[in-house]
Structure 1
Amino acid sequence: MSSIETPRPIRGTQDIFGADAEAFAHVVETFERVRKLYRFRRIEMPVFEKTEVFSRSLGETTDVVSKEMYSFEDRGGESLTLRPEFTAGIARAYLTDGWQQYAPLKVATHGPLFRYERPQKGRYRQFHQLDAEIIGAAEPQADVELLAMADQLLKELGIADGVTLQLNTLGDGDSREGWRAALVSYFRAHRHQLSEDSQDRLERNPLRILDSKDPRDKPFVADAPEIDDYLSGEAQDYFGKVCEGLQAAGVAWTRAPALVRGLDYYRHTAFEFVTDRLGAQGTVLGGGRYDGLIETLGGAHTPAVGWAAGIERLAMLVGGASEDVADCIVVVEEDALMQEGIRSVGLLRNGGLSAELLSSGSPRKRFDKAVKQQPRAILALSSQEGEVSSRFHGSDDDEGLIRAILSGNA
């Protein structure tokens, strides 16, 4: 017996197999189908970027940058970071790859992201997200388009029941600053009764106090100033058009006045699709309008809006998808017929059927092994008087199709 110890998986990562992998793939395939319906262009992004892409866009003082990013120095001495989210990299590509010529640009992608945080149900240090963005569109219709796309995705995944779209506005720049000042003044009066995290956020990121989960903060959050008291006429009009557009699109929503985005470049619409079916981690898809982001990366003022959704969480809501059964298993009951079995399986696959060759183990037990896999059909190959013969197990229609494919008459 080997004395070598088997390496253990890294904490916060996962190996996905079987029904879980099928549910994961189902989420991705559904997303790809829906993004084509909405004419979002597929993009692929690097897994790592220069660290400044994230530190400048997410802010040096955010938890993601200060605590959670996987950053390292490469051999050339440059600081690189495994992407913790998609939006900053997409904004960088918009500026450096000449994508401005396509504005308004609708793009979508999916893949792995990396954050060093406490692993829990539905949250991993390597996780996967779907992402959709519209860059260069200042109109409320862009927000409506993204929300309608997200709503349709959840419906086509079959998980819309029990998921609620929570919607809020952060107003324009002046509205947000007026609200921010009021929040700072209000929370300062209760500073010593707030949680340590909220005391830390008070001066640098007071809006984040509103989404605190700490019980010590909840009584003060409930009575905090609300954005509606500080909205300009333009901001009210913008939010009204988003709401009217959602009604026209048939997308149900509920107002969530405490829903915020802490970073200063977020404007107007903020939203989350939430569920109570995943415990504390209730958000399955979230996003908002980030009109000031591209300026932080050195570009001109560029309106933009987007959302992201965790594939793992969506797959958990979908539940374990059953693995597909084979259309046909070809059983080689005599080893001398191996080449005929290989030929038959190849013809069936070329004919559009999923097929598997069963040719290992005891020849006498192969047919029974095939039956246990419950395929739609079984074709067993044997020989009689030197000639290849076959027996079929399945419906008459399946037999007709399979024999037609094997004879070249399909």
Structure 2
Amino acid sequence: MIQKPRGTRDIVPPESKLWVAVEATAHRVFQAFGAEEIRTPVFEHTELFVRSVGETTDIVHKEMYTFADRKGRFLTLRPEGTAGVARAFLENSLDQRPLPQRLYYIGPMFRYERMQRGRYREFRQIGLEIIGAASPLADAECIVVLFEFFTALGFDNLTVHVNNLGDPEDRPRYRELLRSHFQGVRDQLCADCQRRLEENPLRVLDCKVPTCKAITAITPGMEAVASPASRAHVEEVTSLLTSLGIPWQHNPRLVRGLDYYVRTVFEVVSPELGESTVICGGGRYDRLLADLGGPEIPGVGFAIGEDRLIEVLPRAFVAKVTAQARLYLIPVGQEARLSGLQLARDLVRQGVPVELEVSGRSLKAALKRADKLGFAKVAIFGEDELARGVLLLKDLRAG
């Protein structure tokens, strides 16, 4: 039997109900804040990700699914969403619309990475970008939208980890500071981090290897070289979060895995689920569109790992979504079976979700199936009920 590729998974009922509910909540909350949905290709020209994500990042270096098409052009299954949104923003002249533009997306991404709980090689992200606003207010709005979304799902006690990655002009000084700092412990770093130390020392801070994490725990933060403008920007973001009652804390080791971030970067974690349970992350990318050949338009956004999110959904939300709210229709007799589909259609048109028994089971077998599927109520109808225009309702929970 042919099986699914390693690192992928099938999302089947009843779990698929959770995905539908989470995505419906994202549509509702994001649109309420003025965002519009954007849909971009699942694969793009490889150069897009090399130029945006960063050639020395793990994503580009060893995690992308890249292939040549029949004409020898290199294409890549998208490993993240922001680069594609930025490309589409420029290509479709969305900068000619009034700025800022709030754009959100929901869809599959692909990375060849080590699999673990909540991480797959085909995974899904929910993301939001605010393009065309340089103000710290836009950064804070992203986090507010996130918290409203998570609140709608039933989360509480969440915390935002925030760091300042400075401006692009600060990076060379910070790279040299890191190289100098790690030089004495270079041999204790993993092989990947020894390479990163030469190519891009910031990526050492993002390493998940325990020995490297212990070493980087005492690393100087970007604040040592960050520009006064970037410091003022991030300080205003955190001041806004405080005034809004959103819990946050400074995390000087937070760098995210993408090279286009500047100034504000953030992750949302749940203390109840553990500090390692990052539900989502994001940040500011003021030079990204210019790096892709467009005008210098600032942007800020976030991406939520939907696979991880589904695994840590609050129990109350899961119970509410998976509860069977439909009405199970059981026709008894040939005439009732012929009329059953019309009845089902009429009820659906009136806003009543139903499931019609279409397999010809006996009444006893149909009731047993409805109970097994978790239906609370069933409607039974035969020739007499049809003639009188009534249904017999049975509450399965009452016995």
Q: Calculate the TM-score normalised by the size of structure 2.
A: 0.90
Q: Describe the SS at the equivalent of 1:190.
A: helix
Separation of aligned partners in 2, 1:385 and 1:281: 59
In structure 2, C-alpha distance between the alignment counterparts of 1:7 and 1:262, rounded to whole Å: 35
Q: CA deviation at 1:139?
A: 0.9
Matching of residues 5-44 of structure 1 within 5 Å: 6-44=1-39
Q: Are 2:155 and 1:159 equivalent residues in the alignment?
A: yes
Indicate the residue corresponding to 2:124 in structure 1.
Answer: 128
Asked if structure 1 preserves the Cα contact closer than 8 Å seen for 2:289 and 2:297, the reply is: yes
Work out whether residues 329 and 370 of structure 1, in 8 Å CA contact, stay in contact via their aligned partners in 2: no
**Pairing partner for 1:137 from 114, 133, 139:** 133
Partner of 2:340: 341
SS in structure 1 of the partner of residue 10 of structure 2 = coil
Q: Which consecutive unaligned segments of at least 5 residues does structure 1 have?
A: 1-5, 396-410
**Higher gyration radius (CA):** 1
Residues 68, 115 of structure 1: 8 Å contact kept: yes
Deviations 1:110-168 (A, max 9, x none): 1111111222210111110001111121111110110111122112111233x321011
Instruction: State the partner residue of 2:381.
Output: 381
| Paired residues of 2:54 and 2:260 also in contact (CA < 8 A) | no
> 1:317: Cα distance to partner?
1.0
Q: Report the 3-state secondary structure (helix = DSSP H, G, I; strand = E; otherwise coil) of the residue aligned with 1:131.
A: strand
SS in structure 2 at match of 1:307: strand
- The Cα of 1:281 is off from its aligned counterpart by 5.5
**Counterpart of 1:393?**
393
For the 8 Å contact 2:188–2:211, the answer to whether it is kept is yes
Q: Following the alignment from structure 2 to structure 1, what is the Cα–Cα distance between the partners of residues 253 and 196? A: 16
Alpha-carbon shift at residue 326 of structure 1 (Å): 4.4
Q: What's the Cα RMSD here?
A: 2.4
CA distance in 2 between counterparts of 1:148 and 1:305 reads 13
* SS of match in other structure, 1:217: helix
* Residues 37-56 of structure 1: pairs in structure 2 closer than 5 A: 37-56=32-51
Give the superposition deviation at 1:375.
3.5
Q: Aligned letter for 1:15?
A: D
**Residues 301-340 of structure 1: CA distance to partner in whole angstroms, max 9, x if unpaired?**
2211111011111111115445342442221111232222
Aligned partner (choices 222, 225, 230) of residue 227 of structure 1: 222
Q: Secondary structure at the match of 2:14?
A: helix
- What TM-score do you get using the length of structure 1 for normalisation? 0.87
1:70, 1:82 within 8 Å by CA — same for their partners in 2?
yes
SS at match of 2:312: helix
Quick one: which of 72, 79, 82 aligns to 1:84?
A: 79
Within 5 Å, give how 1:282-293 maps onto structure 2.
282-293=277-288
3-state SS in 2 of match to 1:155: helix
Instruction: Say which SS state the counterpart of residue 241 (structure 2) adopts.
Output: helix
- Partner of 2:126: helix, strand, or coil? strand
SS at match of 2:383: strand
Query: Over residues 176-199 of structure 1, what are the superposed CA-to-partner deviations in whole Å (9 max), with x where a residue is unaligned?
Result: 333222112111232223222221
In structure 1, how many angstroms separate the alpha carbons of the residues matched to 2:333 and 2:254?
67
Q: Shift of residue 209 of structure 1?
A: 1.5
In structure 2, the partner of 1:204 is 199
CA deviations over 1:273-323 (Å, ceiling 9, x no partner) = 123666795211001111121222112222111110111111111154453
- Aligned equivalents of 1:226 and 1:295: distance in 2? 27
Q: Assess if the C-alpha contact under 8 Å between 2:323 and 2:374 holds in 1.
A: no
State the SS of the aligned residue for 1:95: helix
Q: Which residue identity does 1:339 align to in structure 2?
A: L
TM-superposed CA distance for 1:368, in Å, is: 2.7
Report how many aligned residue pairs link the two structures. 389
Question: What do the CA deviations read for 1:188-240 (whole angstroms, capped 9, x no partner)?
Answer: 23222322222111121111222323233344323322222223322221122
Residue 267 of structure 2: SS of its match in structure 1? strand
Give the direction of change, closer, same or farther, for the CA distance of 1:87–1:358 in structure 2 (3 Å limit): same
2 CA distance for matches of 1:208 and 1:312?
A: 24
| SS of corresponding position for 1:137 | coil
2:30–2:145 Cα contact (<8 Å) kept: yes
CA distance in 1, matches of 2:386, 2:221: 86
- Distance in 2, matches of 1:93 and 1:364, equals 56
Report Cα offsets for 1:31-65 as digits up to 9, x if no partner: 11110121111111111111111122122232212
Q: Identity over the aligned pairs, expressed in percent?
A: 39
User: 2:213, 2:117 → 1: CA distance?
Assistant: 24
CA distance in 1, matches of 2:235, 2:162: 12
The AA in structure 2 aligned to 1:235 is S
Tell me if 1:306 matches 2:301. Answer: yes
Q: Counterpart of 2:379 in structure 1: which amino acid?
A: L
**Paired position in structure 2 for 1:363:** 362
Counterpart CA distance in 2 for 1:325 and 1:20 is 13
C-alpha distance in 1 between matches for 2:361 and 2:170 = 76
Q: Is residue 2:55 matched to residue 1:60?
A: yes
Cα separation, 2, equivalents of 1:385 and 1:205: 75
Contact persistence 1:267–1:289 (CA under 8 A): yes
Structure 2: any 5+ residue segments left out of the alignment?
A: none
